[in-house]
Chains A and B, each alone.
Chain A
């Protein structure tokens, strides 16, 4: 579904990605793990068009989308849930969700998806008239994911959905991620919490200072001694 080939991205003079290649098969959950500054978020931002690559290509469903504008990428079915939630604090929960469907014009289907998101996150329905900024951290993360789903994506990019959440909430969020995937959405997941990420993903890439250091089926990586030592603490 998504194929990235030798992607290079820099922030001014600083090179963040030194030629990354990866593959996200249709219907799968693929995760990117790695330490701070490894280039995980940069990869996602480049896929969704927020950053421009220096070299390399991004192909999505047969289209070369490397230089598309974010608006067009969203419309093509890639939805990015950015790191740190970034919800619209002064809009209500429902307005936040509706903004997620900003690029769509099929009102009836948007209403259905709103209902779908509320089923997935009943807490959001309870708070739909509340301002986004007044939600708790976990609820904000749910809102951010829900807003991403409102674009009815084929590919959902999730950047650190576990950040700053209690272990119980992390488990809840990850089980919802699996539910979303089972309903047909392909997921590219970026995580610091390598243990949880490898538990839900089918394939994983380990990034290290802008390069792919390791890759393989998630189960194999989880049991590989190298990964355990470097990322799983033991």
Chain B
């Protein structure tokens, strides 16, 4: 051939040679981050506003990563992620605040109810594709909002004010846990099946992937973690209303995922961190805030459609080359349009 084909870097995962060592570094890093923030906020160096922002960041990381599992990895567009969050929040509050169960039980219970919500909405609607699924999930969220509004036991339109039981420690470690679990899932053969569904559902079925079962599983797991995030949200803000979990909130979670890069777990974390920080920085200019976000999204779609990170994933071996097993080439960030 006269022309050489363009060199396209392959996308491979860089497995670590020393899994224990790299796990050690990860745990050490996380303990340091958690400890430093904990110490600084206890000693008053970080004011309440900054601590609050960091907690919201953690909650947003859980929301973004869990939605990314459904929308980014499996390719099912969902516009009702806040509905799962709301289920988790309301049921965590009912179990803990109304029934007097311990907070962790309430939190997990809320997550389970949200996961059940994922199953209930997932089974009939996952036959739908693309826009139809998006509209069905949007409807699901709106139905739940109206239910809360008219349900006096949970405070109707006023909502509830549970005590502040969640804190930085809870949020940070639960965010870490949800990222680890979802990361692991995406990296497994189950994750391969999910990506195959995203890329071509018919082909996935033809190679023997049980598509409906995998889609519903992704939905349940995503909804569960959204429910956990909801519980943390309610018990950190010690107040929430039905409108806290409306369409706008669902949309905001989707923005985190799209901005970070659909399909990239690292991207979702970065998206959540960047957007939360930006929101906090623009807190004093509430009118400009939305304009800036809209502008950011438009610019993003024009110049970097695949999101900040595309499909890129971060691995410790990129900082510590000693952890790398073999040279496996780079990675593509999916920068094709």
Residue B302 at the chain A interface, CB threshold 8 Å: no
List residues of chain A with CB within 8 A of the CB of B196: 88, 91, 99, 102
Count of A-B residue pairs with CB < 8 Å: 89
Q: How far is the CA of A88 from the CA of B5 in the complex (A)?
A: 20
Give the interface SS of chain B, mostly helix, strand, loop or mixed.
loop
Chain A 75-114 per-residue mask, 1 if CB under 8 angstroms from chain B, else 0:
1000111100011111110010011101100000000000
Q: Do A134 and B8 have beta carbons less than 8 Å apart?
A: yes
Q: How far is the CA of A99 from the CA of B192 in the complex (A)?
A: 8
How many chain B residues sit at the interface, stated as a range, is 20 to 34
For A86, give its contact among B203, B208, B209 (CB under 8 Å). Answer: B203
Residue B296 at the chain A interface, CB threshold 8 Å: no
List residues of chain B with CB within 8 A of the CB of A98: 192
Chain B 158-197 per-residue mask, 1 if CB under 8 angstroms from chain A, else 0:
0000000000000000000000000000000100110110
Residue B326 at the chain A interface, CB threshold 8 Å: no
Q: Do A88 and B203 have beta carbons less than 8 Å apart?
A: yes
* Known pairs A82-B206, A131-B11; A88 contacts B193 (CB<8 A): no
For A91, give its contact among B189, B199, B202, B209 (CB under 8 Å). Answer: B199
Identify the closest chain A residue to B6 (Cβ). A134
Residue A210 at the chain B interface, CB threshold 8 Å: no
Write the nearest CB–CB distance from B12 to chain A, whole angstroms.
7
* Known pairs A102-B189, A131-B11; A90 contacts B208 (CB<8 A): no
* Known pairs A99-B192, A102-B192, A102-B193; A87 contacts B203 (CB<8 A): yes
Scan residues 184-224 of chain B and give those whose CB is less than 8 A from a CB of chain A.
Answer: 189, 192-193, 195-196, 198-200, 202-210
Residue A201 at the chain B interface, CB threshold 8 Å: no
Residue A130 at the chain B interface, CB threshold 8 Å: yes
Chain B 1-44 per-residue mask, 1 if CB under 8 angstroms from chain A, else 0:
00001101111100000000000000000000000000000000
Write the nearest CB–CB distance from A63 to chain B, whole angstroms.
17
Q: How far is the CA of A48 from the CA of B209 in the complex (A)?
A: 12
Of the stretches A66-74, A186-194, A222-230, the one at the interface is A66-74
List residues of chain B with CB within 8 A of the CB of A137: none
List residues of chain B with CB within 8 A of the CB of A89: 199-200
Residue A54 at the chain B interface, CB threshold 8 Å: no
Q: Do A50 and B206 have beta carbons less than 8 Å apart?
A: yes
Q: Do A88 and B195 have beta carbons less than 8 Å apart?
A: yes
Identify the closest chain A residue to B195 (Cβ). A91
Write the nearest CB–CB distance from A202 to chain B, whole angstroms.
25
For B10, give its contact among A69, A88, A92 (CB under 8 Å). Answer: A92
List residues of chain A with CB within 8 A of the CB of B6: 134
**Chain A residues in the interface with B (C-beta under 8 A):** 48, 50, 69-71, 73-75, 79-82, 86-92, 95, 98-100, 102-103, 127-131, 133-134, 147, 151
List 18 interface pairs A-B (beta carbons < 8 Å), by A numbering. Answer: A50-B205, A75-B208, A82-B206, A86-B200, A87-B200, A88-B199, A88-B204, A90-B311, A91-B196, A91-B199, A92-B12, A99-B204, A100-B207, A103-B208, A127-B5, A129-B9, A133-B336, A134-B8
* Extra 6 A-B pairs, beta carbons < 8 Å, given A88-B204, A90-B334, A147-B207: A48-B206, A95-B192, A98-B192, A102-B208, A128-B10, A147-B203
